[in-house]
Amino acid sequence: MTSLTFARALRIAVAAASVTATAVAALPAQELALPRQSGSVRFLVLGDAGTGDREQYEVANQMIRYGRVFPFTFAIMLGDNIYGSERPQDFEKKFTRPYKVLLDADVEFHAALGNHDDPNQRYFKPFHLDGSRYRTFKKGNVRFFVIDSNYLDPAQVKWLEKELSASGSDWKIAYFHHPLYTTARRGPEVELRAVLEPLFVKHGVDVVFTGHEHIYERLQPQKGIYHFTVGGAAKLRKGDTRPGSLIAARFDRDRSFLLAEIAGDSLYFQTISRKGATVDKGVLVRREKR
Amino acid sequence: MLHTVDFRRWALVAAGGVLVAVAACTKEEAKPPADPTKQVFEDFAKRVDNYMKVRKPLADSVGELDPTRSQAEITARGVGLANALIAARAQAKPGDIFTPEVATILATLIKQEYSRRTEPVQETREDQQDELPDFVPQVNQVYPTTYPLATFPATLLPLLPPLPEQLEYRVVQHYLVLRDIEANVIVDVMPNAVPT
């Protein structure tokens, strides 16, 4: 979708969505730190979003605000997409309504499953899991691997190895719920790391996005892989990150989400708080080019 | 004389027979003893298979689920399948699938695996359980829909007997639970499976 049509679709959608229409203020273009290169792959990253609380809606409004100047065509959800009960009205309150403007603008949401998610979410079409707990899809020169970290059974590991080895994409991005590295209180999923990391290293995964911890962290590359924890799109564990050699950047004072743009061998990112402030930004270079 | 020759011939035949019998016995003894774990796991697989035979017509009756925009449709199918399974297995009781024999083996496997874990791994597992409110899982119970599903230890899964894709293992406190994923029904429970 071009910038013009996205912006138009957003205007129409905002006008139609009374829930968010009054809350979304215009964003000065200079606040955007992403280059918006022609033909780039642009996407939104959000984790642990499905509370249905006011904070989720406020974060969603910032996504819409930034979406006007940075048109993205899809979003990756890092799990805990729907907290608590999962009745039809919960999907309405915790997903469809807060992201209505984006959904109306044809933004695709590609979800991973979290520990608070019923695995039957894989049948919910707007989550693009196509009836499977794990899957892969491609956008431009980027291959995404959606992993179910709640239940990493041998069948899934076999599938992952096969898909990773078959992928000839320039960029390989894996995303799932539980972080392999984090400084947050609950700590990393070391068992998951023992199984996944050797595969990621062997097959050249470039970036890993996870949620679960309700904070934002960007870590120093681990075995050549960039790790982000983006688990604060609705919930927050204030003050839960720790300084140290593992950390490249962290934010745990408010909710947040991330915007990403991949152009050639560079991944540009900008992390934004619930109040619309930029809390981290930068550019990463793909491992083969480093 | 003739008698002596006959006797010698008989003695030779008899000796040959004894040798054959001894050889046969030795061959019998050389056979590896039947693997009791394998037998128990085969029995477990049969019981799982029997569950799947009960499940299949019920799943067919509520219909195959394709990805849909309607959460109501997904919920209705899950509830329909759960109700049908609970009714069809009204007599089901703990240990029907996790028999005492398989439970003993699984508990040993899990205990050994837990004892090999490093401290950070143990802490991770405790944290996973901490998120789960206290409840005692029961056979034919619908897994509480507002509770999270504790993440299953990734390095433990390959040690357990494989399951069809419709079923999964979960840990709830010290229980190992067999859960029907689409129906969200607890199929069997095994207490004292997991060290606490």
For A146-160, write each residue's pLDDT tens digit. Answer: 999 999 999 999 999
The C-alpha atoms of residue A163 and residue A146 are separated, in whole angstroms, by 11
Confidence of residue A41 (pLDDT cuts 50, 70, 90): very high
Confidence of residue A161 (pLDDT cuts 50, 70, 90): very high
Contact between chains at A150 and B149 (C-beta distance less than 8 A)? yes
Domain residues for the domain of B133 are 36-190
Q: How far is B140 from chain A (nearest CA, A)?
A: 18
Interface residue A184 vs chain B (CB under 8 A): no
In A, minimum Cα distance to B77 occurs at A120
Check whether B2 has a pLDDT greater than 50: no
- Greater confidence (A8 vs A99) lies with A99
- Indicate the residue of B74, B152, B162 with minimum beta-carbon distance to A123: B74
- Chain A residues lying within 8 Å of B151, measured CB to CB: 115, 149-151, 178, 189
**Residue B4: inside a domain, yes or no?**
no
Of the CA atoms within 13 Å of residue A13, those in its CB half-sphere come to 24
The stretch A68-84 carries a mean pLDDT of 96
For strand A171-175 and strand A207-210, is the pairing parallel, antiparallel, or unpaired?
parallel
pLDDT at position A25 is 73
Interface residue B148 vs chain A (CB under 8 A): yes
- Indicate the residue of A84, A115, A188 with minimum beta-carbon distance to B146: A84
In A, minimum Cα distance to B144 occurs at A85
**Residue B13: inside a domain, yes or no?**
no
**Residue B3: inside a domain, yes or no?**
no
Q: How far is B104 from chain A (nearest CA, A)?
A: 22
Q: How far is B43 from chain A (nearest CA, A)?
A: 21
The C-alpha atoms of residue A35 and residue A69 are separated, in whole angstroms, by 11
Contact between chains at A131 and B149 (C-beta distance less than 8 A)? no
pLDDT at position A16 is 43
- Indicate the residue of A115, A155, A187 with minimum beta-carbon distance to B150: A115
Q: Is the dihedral of CA A30, A31, A35, A40 positive or negative?
A: negative
| Average pLDDT over chain B, rounded to an integer | 84
- Tell me the pLDDT tens digit for each residue of B32-65: 677 888 999 999 999 999 999 999 999 999 988 8
DSSP conformational letter for A225: B
**Residue B104: inside a domain, yes or no?**
yes
Query: How many structural domains compose chain B?
Result: 1
pLDDT at position A20 is 45
- Give which of B74, B127, B145, B181 to mutate to test A binding, by max A Cβ within 10 Å: B74
- Chain A residues lying within 8 Å of B162, measured CB to CB: 154
Confidence of residue B133 (pLDDT cuts 50, 70, 90): confident
**Residue B26: inside a domain, yes or no?**
no
Share of chain A above pLDDT 70, in %: 90
- Indicate the residue of A130, A186, A191 with minimum beta-carbon distance to B153: A191
What residue ranges define each of the domains in chain A, with the CATH number in brackets?
3-289 (3.60.21.10)
**Residue B17: inside a domain, yes or no?**
no
Interface residue A148 vs chain B (CB under 8 A): no
The stretch A219-248 carries a mean pLDDT of 96
**Residue B2: inside a domain, yes or no?**
no
**Residue B22: inside a domain, yes or no?**
no
Residues B12 and B73: beta-carbon distance below 8 Å: no
| Degrees, nearest 5: CA angle B147-B153-B154 | 125
- Chain B residues lying within 8 Å of A91, measured CB to CB: 71
- Tell me the pLDDT tens digit for each residue of A47-60: 999 999 999 999 99
Confidence of residue A4 (pLDDT cuts 50, 70, 90): very low
The C-alpha atoms of residue B25 and residue A223 are separated, in whole angstroms, by 59
Interface residue A178 vs chain B (CB under 8 A): yes
- Give which of A104, A109, A120, A148 to mutate to test B binding, by max B Cβ within 10 Å: A120
String of DSSP letters for A52-72: -SHHHHHHHHHHHHHHHHS--
Among the residue ranges A111-125, A213-227, B22-36, B93-107, the one predicted with the least confidence is B22-36
pLDDT at position A1 is 46
Interface residue B6 vs chain A (CB under 8 A): no
Check whether A215 has a pLDDT greater than 50: yes
The stretch A12-22 carries a mean pLDDT of 44
Check whether A183 has a pLDDT greater than 90: yes
Q: How many CB pairs under 8 A join A and B?
A: 95
The stretch A88-99 carries a mean pLDDT of 97
- Chain A residues lying within 8 Å of B124, measured CB to CB: 186-191
- Chain A residues lying within 8 Å of B145, measured CB to CB: 85-86, 118
Check whether A15 has a pLDDT greater than 60: no
Interface residue A81 vs chain B (CB under 8 A): no
- Tell me the pLDDT tens digit for each residue of B137-193: 999 999 998 888 888 888 899 999 999 999 999 999 899 999 999 999 999 999 999
Q: How far is B169 from chain A (nearest CA, A)?
A: 9
- Indicate the residue of B69, B148, B181 with minimum beta-carbon distance to A115: B148
Q: How far is A286 from chain B (nearest CA, A)?
A: 29
- Chain B residues lying within 8 Å of A85, measured CB to CB: 145-146
| Average pLDDT over chain A, rounded to an integer | 91
- Give which of B110, B146, B151 to mutate to test A binding, by max A Cβ within 10 Å: B151
A57: Cβ contacts below 8 Å, ≥ 6 apart = A19, A20, A23, A97, A98
Q: Please give the distance of CA A219 from its chain centroid, rounded to a whole number.
A: 16
The C-alpha atoms of residue A74 and residue A289 are separated, in whole angstroms, by 26
3-state secondary structure of B4: helix
Confidence of residue A252 (pLDDT cuts 50, 70, 90): very high
pTM for the structure as a whole: 0.88
- Chain A residues lying within 8 Å of B68, measured CB to CB: 123-125
